[in-house]
A and B are shown apart, each in its own frame.
Chain A
Amino acid sequence: MSNAQIEIQLIASLVAIACAVPGTFLVLRKMAMISDAISHSILPGIVIGFFITQDLNSPLLILLAALTGIITVVLVEYIQKTGLVKEDTAIGLVFPILFSIGVILIAKNANDVHLDVDAVLLGELAFAPFDRLIMYGVDVGPKSLWIIGSILIITIGLLIAFFKELKISTFDAGLSASLGFSPAIIHYGLMTVSSVTTVGAFDAVGAILVVALMIAPAATAYLLTTDLKRMLIYTIVFGIFSAISGYWLAHWLDASIAGSITTMLGLLFLVVYLFAPNKGVIAVLYREKQQRTEVSLLTFLLHLKNHTEERERHVNHLNEHINWQKVRSKTILDLALKNNMISFNKNIVSLTEKGDAFTTQAIDFIITNEDSQIEDMKDDFFLFRG
Chain B
Amino acid sequence: MDITEYIKLVFTDYTLRTITLGTAILGAVTGMLGSFAVLRKQSLLGDAISHAALPGIAIAFLITGTKETNVLLLGALISGLIGTFWIRGIISKTHLKSDTALGLILSLFFGFGMLLLTFIQKQPNANQAGLDKYLFGQAATLVESDVWMMAIVTGICLFVLLLFWKEFKILLFDADYTKTLGFNTKVIDILITSFIVLAIVLGLQTVGVVLMSAMLLAPAAAARQWTNSLGVMVFLAAVFGAFSGVFGTAISSSQNNLSTGPVIVIIAGIFVLVSFIFSPSRGLLFKQIRFIKNRRDLELHKTLSFMFHIAQTHDNISHPHTIKILNNFQGYTKSTLQKLVNKNYVILEGNMWSLTEEGFNTASNLYNQQNPDNE
A175 within 8 Å of B by Cβ? no
**Shortest CB–CB separation between residue B221 and chain A, in angstroms?**
5
B118 lies within 8 A of A259 (CB) = yes
A-B contact pairs, 13 of them (CB 8 A): A33-B102, A92-B217, A93-B214, A100-B262, A104-B266, A212-B107, A215-B100, A215-B107, A222-B100, A253-B119, A255-B122, A260-B115, A263-B112
A208 CA to B52 CA, complexed, in Å? 12
B278 within 8 Å of A by Cβ? no
**Shortest CB–CB separation between residue B123 and chain A, in angstroms?**
10
Q: In the complex, which residues of chain B have a beta carbon less than 8 angstroms from the beta carbon of A89?
A: 38, 43, 217, 221
**Shortest CB–CB separation between residue A270 and chain B, in angstroms?**
9
A93 lies within 8 A of B112 (CB) = no
**Shortest CB–CB separation between residue A321 and chain B, in angstroms?**
27
Q: In the complex, which residues of chain B have a beta carbon less than 8 angstroms from the beta carbon of A85?
A: 38, 221, 224
Known: A85-B221, A279-B95. A273 touches B90 (CB 8 A): yes
Residues of chain B in range 84-105 having any CB-CB distance to chain A below 8 Å: 89-90, 93-97, 99-100, 102-104
Mark A residues whose CB is within 8 Å of B. 27, 30-33, 35-36, 40, 79, 82, 84-86, 88-89, 91-93, 96-97, 99-101, 103-104, 107-108, 111, 117-118, 121-122, 208-209, 211-212, 214-216, 218-219, 222-223, 250, 253-256, 258-263, 265-266, 269, 273, 279, 281, 284-285
Q: In the complex, which residues of chain A have a beta carbon less than 8 angstroms from the beta carbon of B43?
A: 86, 88-89, 91-92
**Shortest CB–CB separation between residue A204 and chain B, in angstroms?**
15
> Which of A40, A82, A209 sits near B210, CB closer than 8 Å?
A40
Known: A208-B114, A256-B114, A281-B89. A92 touches B47 (CB 8 A): yes
Size band of the B side of the interface?
35 or more
Interface string of B10-49 (1 = CB under 8 A from A): 0000000000000000000000000000100111101100
A261 CA to B318 CA, complexed, in Å? 85
Known: A92-B44, A281-B89. A122 touches B114 (CB 8 A): yes
B107 lies within 8 A of A108 (CB) = no
Closest B residue, CB atoms, query A264? B111
A107 CA to B217 CA, complexed, in Å? 24
B359 within 8 Å of A by Cβ? no
B104 lies within 8 A of A219 (CB) = yes
Can you list the 7 inter-chain pairs with the closest CB atoms, starting with the nearest?
A262-B111, A259-B115, A96-B214, A259-B114, A100-B262, A212-B107, A266-B108
A104 lies within 8 A of B263 (CB) = yes
B169 within 8 Å of A by Cβ? no
B265 within 8 Å of A by Cβ? yes
A265 CA to B214 CA, complexed, in Å? 27
B265 lies within 8 A of A265 (CB) = no
**Shortest CB–CB separation between residue B226 and chain A, in angstroms?**
11
B134 within 8 Å of A by Cβ? no
Majority SS at the chain B contact face: helix
B218 within 8 Å of A by Cβ? yes
Residues of chain B in range 36-80 having any CB-CB distance to chain A below 8 Å: 38, 41-44, 46-47, 51
Closest A residue, CB atoms, query B41? A86
B305 within 8 Å of A by Cβ? no
Q: In the complex, which residues of chain A have a beta carbon less than 8 angstroms from the beta carbon of B218?
A: 93, 97
Known: A211-B106, A253-B115, A262-B115. A97 touches B214 (CB 8 A): yes
Majority SS at the chain A contact face: helix
Q: In the complex, which residues of chain A have a beta carbon less than 8 angstroms from the beta carbon of B106?
A: 36, 211
Known: A85-B221, A266-B108. A100 touches B103 (CB 8 A): no
A82 CA to B275 CA, complexed, in Å? 13
The total of interchain contacts (Cβ-Cβ below 8 angstroms) comes to: 195
Q: In the complex, which residues of chain B have a beta carbon less than 8 angstroms from the beta carbon of A222?
A: 95-96, 100
A96 CA to B284 CA, complexed, in Å? 22
**Shortest CB–CB separation between residue B47 and chain A, in angstroms?**
6
Q: In the complex, which residues of chain B have a beta carbon less than 8 angstroms from the beta carbon of A79?
A: 276
A88 CA to B118 CA, complexed, in Å? 32
Q: In the complex, which residues of chain A have a beta carbon less than 8 angstroms from the beta carbon of B109?
A: 266
A10 CA to B287 CA, complexed, in Å? 54
Closest A residue, CB atoms, query B132? A118
Closest A residue, CB atoms, query B108? A266
Q: In the complex, which residues of chain B have a beta carbon less than 8 angstroms from the beta carbon of A208?
A: 51, 107, 110-111, 114
> Which of A35, A117, A253, A260 sits near B103, CB closer than 8 Å?
A35
Q: In the complex, which residues of chain B have a beta carbon less than 8 angstroms from the beta carbon of A117?
A: 136
Q: In the complex, which residues of chain A have a beta carbon less than 8 angstroms from the beta carbon of B46?
A: 92
Q: In the complex, which residues of chain B have a beta carbon less than 8 angstroms from the beta carbon of A33?
A: 44, 47, 99, 102-103
Interface string of B207-222 (1 = CB under 8 A from A): 0001101101110010
B199 within 8 Å of A by Cβ? no
A100 CA to B262 CA, complexed, in Å? 5
Known: A33-B99, A96-B214. A259 touches B112 (CB 8 A): yes
A268 CA to B79 CA, complexed, in Å? 19
Q: In the complex, which residues of chain A have a beta carbon less than 8 angstroms from the beta carbon of B115?
A: 250, 253, 255-256, 259-260, 262-263
A27 CA to B51 CA, complexed, in Å? 20
A274 CA to B257 CA, complexed, in Å? 48
B258 within 8 Å of A by Cβ? yes
Q: Among B89, B113, B115, find the residue whose CB has the most chain A CB atoms closer than 10 A.
A: B115
Q: In the complex, which residues of chain A have a beta carbon less than 8 angstroms from the beta carbon of B51?
A: 208
Q: Among B102, B109, B214, B276, find the residue whose CB has the most chain A CB atoms closer than 10 A.
A: B214
Closest B residue, CB atoms, query A83? B282
Q: In the complex, which residues of chain B have a beta carbon less than 8 angstroms from the beta carbon of A253?
A: 115, 119
Q: In the complex, which residues of chain A have a beta carbon less than 8 angstroms from the beta carbon of B108?
A: 212, 216, 262-263, 265-266, 269
A97 lies within 8 A of B269 (CB) = yes
**Shortest CB–CB separation between residue A298 and chain B, in angstroms?**
25
> Which of A96, A218, A269, A281 sits near B265, CB closer than 8 Å?
A96
**Shortest CB–CB separation between residue B103 and chain A, in angstroms?**
4
> Which of A108, A218, A258, A285 sits near B114, CB closer than 8 Å?
A258
> Which of A82, A212, A263, A281 sits near B276, CB closer than 8 Å?
A82
A258 lies within 8 A of B99 (CB) = no
B272 within 8 Å of A by Cβ? yes
A285 CA to B113 CA, complexed, in Å? 30
Q: Among A111, A121, A212, find the residue whose CB has the most chain B CB atoms closer than 10 A.
A: A212
Q: In the complex, which residues of chain B have a beta carbon less than 8 angstroms from the beta carbon of A86?
A: 38, 41, 43
A250 CA to B263 CA, complexed, in Å? 36
**Shortest CB–CB separation between residue A302 and chain B, in angstroms?**
27
Closest B residue, CB atoms, query A250? B115
A104 lies within 8 A of B258 (CB) = yes
A88 lies within 8 A of B99 (CB) = yes
**Shortest CB–CB separation between residue B35 and chain A, in angstroms?**
11
Given contacts A100-B269, A253-B119, 9 further A-B contacts (CB under 8 A): A79-B276, A82-B276, A84-B282, A92-B43, A107-B258, A219-B96, A223-B94, A263-B112, A265-B108
